[in-house]
Structure 1
Amino acid sequence: MFVQTTDRGALDELVPVLEYFVDRSCLPEWKINRQTIAFHNLSWLLAGSATFWCDGVPYHAHAGDLVYLPRGSTRRAVSDPEDLMHCYACDFQCQSIGGTATARLPLPVLSRIGIPDGLLELYRRLNRVWLEKSPGYGLETRGLFSMIIHRLVYAEEPSRRLSVVQDFIIQHYAEPISLTRLAVLVRLNPRYFGNWFSDRMGMTVKEYINRIRIRKATDLLATGGFNVAEAAYDSGFEDVFYFSKVFKKIAGFPPSDLLRFGSAGRSPIPD
């Protein structure tokens, strides 16, 4: 019997058992052939890039990304031969204290967590203990790996959620984007989401969306193939007059200047 562990409170009953751990530096020919796995897998990329498939869906991972493949999923993977992957990878089982197997952890397949020093130190210690296998190493590896799982699920969650929101906005900037849609995406209350985002980004969701849209519009106008109205609509604005107002506020000059003078002599839009 398996339990779907999506409630973080239920993780207090979790007992992770590490079966395999490796500090992997890939060669150009490295790959994992298609297979259905009888364990959970975590791969944290420290450098390079690779493509992982989970149940047929490709996920392109880069340095600072975490890839989680749950038990029972079908996987395969290849490293980018031009940008070879270096990662920590581990296979493990998850059970509750009562012995019930866990179907999956409350982690997405691909998430952006960066390379925080505290997490890196835990992985380095785990790597050393795993390789040395001194007396008591089993107890120590369970303790270290439990701390890693805790950190990935709890401590790194805010930055992971923020990355999910940012990536969604960048991919869907030309579409209508509501607070509710974004809040549901990261499982937050829509009433709380706006303040949560502002506290972390220093700007409102609307300001961030407008900034992304204006950057996209600037790129379109700089090509010379779009007029102001076309750039406005293609970047997600429904009102060209509002677009011009927002553009001037963010860029410091009207969008028509890009058509008259091009990007030469103009400062880039501030971060």
Structure 2
Amino acid sequence: MDLDFNNMIPELHYYIHRKCTVNWKIEAGITPFIDITYVIKGRAKYMIGDKEYTVKKGDLLCIPKKTYRAATNIPEDLMECYVVNFFLSDLKGQDVSLPFPIISHIGIIPRLITLFHDIHGEWMQRDFGYMLKVRANMCLILYQASNLLLNEKRISQDDPRIKNSIQFMSSHYSEPALTIDKLAKQFDLHPVYYGSLFQQTTGMTFKQYLTSLRLNYAESMLKSGEYGVSEVALQCGFSDIFYFSRLFKKKKGIPPSELFPEKGKGLEID
């Protein structure tokens, strides 16, 4: 069964910001937890299962639970890394494993380092509710790793113009005047080139992305129970309520009236 990344619950067992010394090593043994190690400097030799690896700066290790593991340093190039040992379960409390490669070279990613630093602060201070904060940061680390390693549609180029566009769209999605021409003009780009760049980095056309964004907001508003279908359609940038209902049913599989039947009655479009 495929892992549902929306329902993972990590429980941190051990954390360390490791700066290896000349005599550092990990004794051979079977790990009772999942080990994620992010190397930010130097190198080291690992034996994982029956295979030897030389890890280096920018490598992300994911050692599964119940795996043979041992490690030694490389004295002339001592390793520095962040390490989290944790257990992972689903919402039913059953153990799950991560479909990550043993070693992936992801390079140095500042936002990932920041998340490890945040865990470091909470783990050292151990203030009220620190485990809740640690668990939240663990979820973010797993998200970043899964996004980097498994999400084929992620914004691989990290183009700042498209990232800024997405942030702008998230705040102005309800505006009927939000068009590809308007966004392209903000970055002094021709609409055709901007549209190509947008699709290249998001995997969707500008119109597809905006429609998906509006429908997701509409779904959240309907589920809140505070708005009727007509209100939601207008607040999410749809001037034609019947078009909105048809589109919502096509994309979400159910008519919007099913999420709020009392206020949406009479607007279902088959």
| TM-score, scaled relative to structure 2 | 0.55
Could you say which residue in structure 2 is the equivalent of 1:249?
none
Q: Which runs of 5+ in 2 are unaligned?
A: 153-199, 202-270
- 1:155 deviates by 3.7
Contact 1:56 1:75 in 2 (8 A): no
| SS of residue matched to 2:77 | coil
CA distance, structure 2, for counterparts of residue 11 and residue 18 of structure 1: 17
Q: Deviations 1:215-245 (Å, cap 9, x if unpaired)?
A: xxxxxxxxxxxxxxxxxxxxxxxxxxxxxxx
Residues 64, 112 of structure 1: 8 Å contact kept: yes
Counterpart amino acid of residue 21 in structure 1: Y
Mapped partners of 1:140, 1:120: distance in 2: 16
Deviations 1:71-100 (A, max 9, x none): 011000111111000000111000111010
**Equivalent residue of 1:131, what SS?**
helix
User: 2:124 is paired with a residue of what secondary structure?
Assistant: helix
Paired with 1:134 and 1:48, the residues of 2 have a C-alpha distance of: 33
Whole-angstrom distance in 2 between the partners of 1:17 and 1:140? 11
DSSP 3-state at the match of 2:138: helix
Within 1, Cα distance between the matches of 2:69 and 2:80? 19
Q: Which residue does the alignment assign to 1:150?
A: 143
Tell me the residue number matched to 1:188: none
Amino acid at match of 2:119: L
Read off the aligned partner of 1:75 and give its amino acid letter: R
CA distance in 1, matches of 2:56, 2:108: 11
Structure 1 runs (4+) greater than 4 angstroms displaced? 156-159
Query: Contact 1:28/1:84 (CA < 8 Å) preserved in 2?
Result: yes
Pick from 24, 32, 37 the counterpart of residue 26 of structure 2.
32
Matched with 1:73 is 67
Distance 2:84 2:114 in 1: 16
Q: Give matches, 1:68-217, under 5 Å.
A: 68-102=62-96, 104-157=97-150
SS of the residue corresponding to residue 101 of structure 1 reads coil
When normalised by structure 1's length, the TM-score is 0.54
RMSD: 2.0
Q: What residue is the counterpart of 2:258 in the other structure?
A: none
Q: 1:120 is paired with a residue of what secondary structure?
A: helix
Question: C-alpha separation between the residues in 1 aligned to 2:73 and 2:100?
Answer: 22
Give aligned pairs, total: 155
Contact 1:39–1:70 (CA under 8 A) maintained in structure 2: yes
Cα deviation code 1:227-265 (max 9, x no counterpart): xxxxxxxxxxxxxxxxxxxxxxxxxxxxxxxxxxxxxxx
TM-superposed deviation, 1:157: 4.2
Contact in 1 for aligned 2:100/2:149 (Cα 8 Å): no
- Contiguous gaps of at least 5 residues in structure 1: 160-198, 201-271
